[in-house]
Amino acid sequence: MVAVMAGRDDTYCKFGPILLEGMCWVLLDYQNELRKNQGMPELTMDDVLLKLENHLSGLQPYDWM
């Protein structure tokens, strides 16, 4: 039996942008829970999007883009 792992392109094509948006919300919830426990201010989605913009410039586009 051969197991085939989905690649980066396959995963994104299958689930699309909704996967990315959902993961952003999940990670933001976890991050804010940890920050709250440490007495730190919560992050907003705008904070996350600003950081995301900073990192996107270093990523390579998908083959199908």
Give the residue numbers spanning the domain of 25: 9-56
Question: Could you read off the pLDDT of 2-42 as tens digits, one per residue?
Answer: 455 667 777 777 777 788 788 888 999 999 999 999 999 99
Residue 2 lies in a domain: no
**Contact status, residue 62 vs residue 16, Cβ threshold 8 Å:** no
17-37 and 45-56 helices cross at what angle (nearest 10)?
Answer: 120
Total number of domains in the chain = 1
Half-sphere CA count of 17, side-chain side, radius 13 A: 0
Residue 37 lies in a domain: yes
Residue 41 lies in a domain: yes
Residue 4 lies in a domain: no
What local confidence, expressed as pLDDT, does residue 56 receive? 85
What are the residues whose beta carbons fall under 8 Å from the beta carbon of 43, sequence distance 6 or more?
A: 28, 31, 32, 35
